[in-house]
Amino acid sequence: MKIVVVTGSPHRDGTSALLADRFIEGAKEAGHDTFRFDSAFEDTHPCLGCDQCGMNGPCVHKDAIEQKLIERLVDCDMIVLVTPLYYFGFSAQIKTVIDRFYSRTGAIHHKKSVLLATAWNNDDWTMTALSAHYNRLCRYMQWQNMGSILATGCGTRSMIERSDFPLKAYELGKSV
């Protein structure tokens, strides 16, 4: 299976980066082909809503999303979204990528998907808005949700390293 992992954290060695690393490790061990796009470290631009793409063609932006990512999304079997929680939603970096799905909406329907997310807070409501957004995205894009790891109470690298969330990400990567 071809898997595209899109990360959205501006911290190279942060909590969500660890989940991405472990998921990819498990997926590779299971024989899957993975591609990682770290949106915070790429030249990306938000959708202008200009509709030049017609929802099925090239974007007017010739940035990393258009040059490196979009065709891989079209060709993949699974999309993994990895984000730290920012005010109860996706980070701006990954949200920019999600908004740019518009240029190939039909071509990236019917994929499998996974959500990996981290948050400092560990209240039972911490991830409800993010989960709702992700579930609606899956419904709209007709993606098959293969699972989520919602790592609450993991505000620092040392906190998540002491948790079982990295192992869960690894196991999810092996099982998809």
**Residue 91 pLDDT class (50, 70, 90 cuts):** very high
List Cα–Cα distances, 160 to 18, 88, 129, in angstroms.
8, 19, 21
Pick from 116, 123, 158, 106: which is nearest to 22 by CA?
116
| Sheet of 2-7, strands arranged across | 33-38, 2-7, 78-84, 112-118, 144-151
Burial (CB count <10 Å: 0-12, 13-18, 19+), residue 162: exposed
Asked if 134 contacts 140 with a C-beta cutoff of 8 angstroms, the reply is: no
| Phi-psi map region of 173: left, alpha, beta (phi>0 left; psi -120 to 50 alpha) | alpha
Residue-level pLDDT at 78: 98
Share of residues in the chain with pLDDT > 90 (%)? 99
Asked if 84 contacts 118 with a C-beta cutoff of 8 angstroms, the reply is: yes
How does pLDDT run across 14-51, given as a tens digit for each residue?
Answer: 999 999 999 999 999 999 999 999 999 999 999 999 99
Residue-level pLDDT at 21: 98
What are the structure tokens assigned to 161, written together? 């390293």
Share of residues in the chain with pLDDT > 70 (%)? 100
Helix, strand, coil fractions of the chain, as percent rounded to 5: 45, 20, 35
How does pLDDT run across 109-138, given as a tens digit for each residue?
Answer: 999 999 999 999 999 999 999 999 999 999
